[in-house]
Structure 1
Amino acid sequence: MTDRDVGPIDYLAVEFPGARLEGDGLAALVDLTDRGIIRILDLVVAKVEEDGTFAVVTLADLDGDGSLDLAVFEGVQSGLLDPDDVAQSAALVKPGNAVGLLLYENTWAGPFVSAMRDVGAEVIASGRIPAADVAAALDALEAAES
């Protein structure tokens, strides 16, 4: 057991069509980090070539506008993700696209888990319900109420 509150660790693999990292996603990621909701443990971007091979892209000026897009995450590497994880994620995306692999700690949950342990409780399971399943269930509920 560490002296630090540790929250659950999650990962996301995101496919970027045409290997273009655009939109407000980067700003949202910085905001979540700045507010202490999550802590980025690993952030890797790999571009998948037409022949299926891939190359890890240095976190730099990803959109070509002259500014370093992910400077705040430059060098973030916990060692929890290994080359096999990147290869498996790259195999999930279409050639010509890129995959972003994000490993993060849910820092908001750390103090809660520690407080539960202080009274003898233990987290015995955790899980994730896919967003598509939640949306489908809510759509079905809404349809049933109509």
Structure 2
Amino acid sequence: MLHRPAQPHNCDVASLTFAGPIGYAAFVLPRDADAAPALQGLLDRIDAGTIELLDLEILALGAHGAAERQPTSVLQHGDSFDLSEFDGAQSDLLDAEDLAALGAELSDSELAIVIIYEDRGLAGFATQVQAQGGRELWTGGVDISELDTLVTESEQEN
């Protein structure tokens, strides 16, 4: 279930900053939906240090069926939310294959909000381990389908 590196991170944590797993999420909103509450929730997680935003992409279905990047200004947000909070957040990390796949899921009346982020939820824990002379050994993700299989098998055994 754990996708371990061929060689463990045999490194001195004291000389490195903790790097959490990198994840992504794509959400779809109707074009006329108020995106401000969702964007504020994203900012709250950034401000709390839970995540580090690596890329924010706003996408709409293009003429050829692939998703096309849009400026954040296409999002409905009311007067109380300042979209400039996300200036410079678009890093264009999505490639042509990603844009085509996302476009296949969008309709003309929808916008996609795609975030690529670093999960910083364990940074405090990692700092405490480091303070005690410990080190990070592995980080990574778990494939949800593998987790589901293991949970199902475990439930059947018990």
8 Å CA contact 1:90, 1:99 repeated in 2: no
1:1-146 residue pairs with structure 2 within 5 A? Answer: 3-18=16-31, 20-22=33-35, 24-49=37-62, 52-60=65-73, 62-63=75-76, 65=78, 69-78=82-91, 80-113=93-126, 115=129, 119=134, 122-123=137-138, 125-127=140-142, 129=144
Q: Which runs of 4+ in 1 moved over 6 A?
A: none
Change (3 A) 1:62 1:38: same
Shift of 1:80: 3.9
In structure 2, the gaps of 5 or more residues are 1-10, 153-158
RMSD of aligned C-alpha atoms? Answer: 3.3
The TM-score, its normalising length taken from structure 1, stands at: 0.67
Higher relative contact order (CA 8 A, sep 6+): 2
- Give the share of equivalent positions with the same residue, in percent: 27
Choose 1 or 2 for highest CA Rg.
2
The TM-score, its normalising length taken from structure 2, stands at: 0.63
Change (3 A) 1:113 1:85: farther
Cα-to-partner distance string for 1:70-98 (whole Å, 9 max, x where unaligned): 32221124564334323322222233311
